[in-house]
Amino acid sequence: MAPAVRGSSDISTNSTGTPRKHVPTVSRPWDDPNGSGEVGRVDDLVRKYADMWSLDGTNAIAYLCGHPEMIEHVKGILKRRGFPKEVIKEEIYWVPKKQVAVAT
């Protein structure tokens, strides 16, 4: 996700011209049959691309936004790959309601 960008070049490089890598990801392709990007769960794709691009905490910064459970799963994956918490950025859009057990 890249809010308020003027064009694809704003996504592919930062203000210093350093290249960025991002993978548009669709977890529910049936909701948008014309959508584009990788299809699957974000945590699986993080593993795939972290391996493919040899990412670790010395050569990458992670920015996670979305469902709180997804963020926790991906943070665990990144920490196991050697990412220190200082390079894992997160934006949680909401706090899920606690599930209350119904007495029967």
This prediction has a pTM of 0.69
Look at residue 104 and tell me if it is in a domain.
Answer: no
Q: Look at residue 102 and tell me if it is in a domain.
A: no
pLDDT confidence of residue 3: 42
For residue 33, what pLDDT is reported?
79
Name residues of the chain where pLDDT drops below 70.
1-19, 99-104
How many domains does the chain fold into?
Answer: 1
Could you give the CA distance from residue 14 to residue 86 in angstroms, rounded to a whole number?
Answer: 19
**Does residue 13 belong to any structural domain of this protein?**
yes
How much is the pLDDT for 35?
A: 74
20: nearest Cα among 51, 74, 80, 62: 62
User: In a 3-state reduction of DSSP, which class is residue 25?
Assistant: strand
In a domain, 97, yes or no: no
In a domain, residue 99? The reply is no
Is residue 103 assigned to a domain? no
pLDDT of residue 58: 92
Does residue 48 form part of some domain? yes
Residue 2 lies in a domain: no
